[in-house]
């Protein structure tokens, strides 16, 4: 019985050896070199490559290409990877001192308006008579004693009166804070301001 199966076992072993040799040659060796050294181990058709025209092992039977030509074909058909670069967006700082309607800096408008009030009303507090700085600007070029220009009607209540000369009292710091946060009716300037703006002050 053993003698009957011996030739079958030998054939199976030979086929396994040939299979492993073929895999090894394709993966790790130069196929042409291995073919000429051991032509009996490889039972593959050596044909002319349709691209390069050399007699080599045809890997791609559909296109009739050798391994090198087939690799070139795959590289060409492979889509290129799109590289996305992270672009840092610079945050634009919004200046809240710019009037959208006129695109003019409110600070320059305020300073021009304060200079007009400085010429018209003088340098004394209208409430207590305290003397205020006589120069419009200080040594650093800034508007001196900006607090003196007190809006009768607050800018938040009537923004349209922001640059109205009649809406200004010349006050010292104490009187200004008193007009803003204290009892306005007890002040001397109350009656005068009420006549100017009867719709706002009552």
pLDDT tens track for 47-95: 888 888 888 888 888 888 888 888 888 887 666 666 656 666 666 665 5
pLDDT of residue 153: 92
Name the burial class of residue 160, with classes exposed (0-12), middle (13-18) and buried (19+) by CB atoms within 10 angstroms of its CB.
exposed
User: What pTM was computed for the model?
Assistant: 0.48
Supply the pLDDT for residue 129. Answer: 92
**Percent of the chain, pLDDT > 70?**
72
Lowest mean pLDDT among 70-79, 101-110, 116-125: 101-110
Q: What is the mean predicted confidence (pLDDT) over 166-186?
A: 92
Give tens-digit pLDDT for 8-23: 777 777 777 777 776 7
């Amino acid at each position: 019985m053993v003698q009957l199966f011996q030739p079958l076992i030998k054939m199976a072993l030979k086929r396994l050896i040939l299979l492993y040799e073929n895999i090894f040659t394709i993966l790790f060796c130069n196929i042409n070199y291995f073919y000429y050294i051991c032509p009996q181990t490889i039972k593959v058709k050596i044909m002319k490559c349709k691209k390069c025209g050399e007699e080599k092992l045809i890997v791609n039977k559909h296109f009739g290409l050798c391994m090198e030509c087939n690799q070139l074909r795959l590289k060409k058909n492979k889509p290129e990877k799109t590289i996305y670069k992270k672009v840092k967006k610079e945050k634009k700082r919004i200046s809240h001192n710019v009037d959208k309607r006129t695109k003019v800096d409110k600070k320059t408008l305020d300073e021009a308006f304060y200079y007009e009030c400085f010429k018209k009303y003088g340098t004394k507090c209208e409430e207590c008579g305290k003397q205020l700085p006589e120069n419009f600007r200080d040594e650093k070029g800034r508007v001196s004693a900006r607090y003196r220009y007190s809006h009768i009607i607050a800018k938040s209540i009537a923004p349209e009166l922001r640059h109205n000369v009649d809406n200004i009292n010349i006050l010292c710091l104490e009187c200004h804070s008193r007009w803003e946060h204290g009892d306005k009716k007890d002040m001397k300037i109350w009656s005068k301001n009420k006549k100017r703006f009867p719709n706002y002050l009552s």
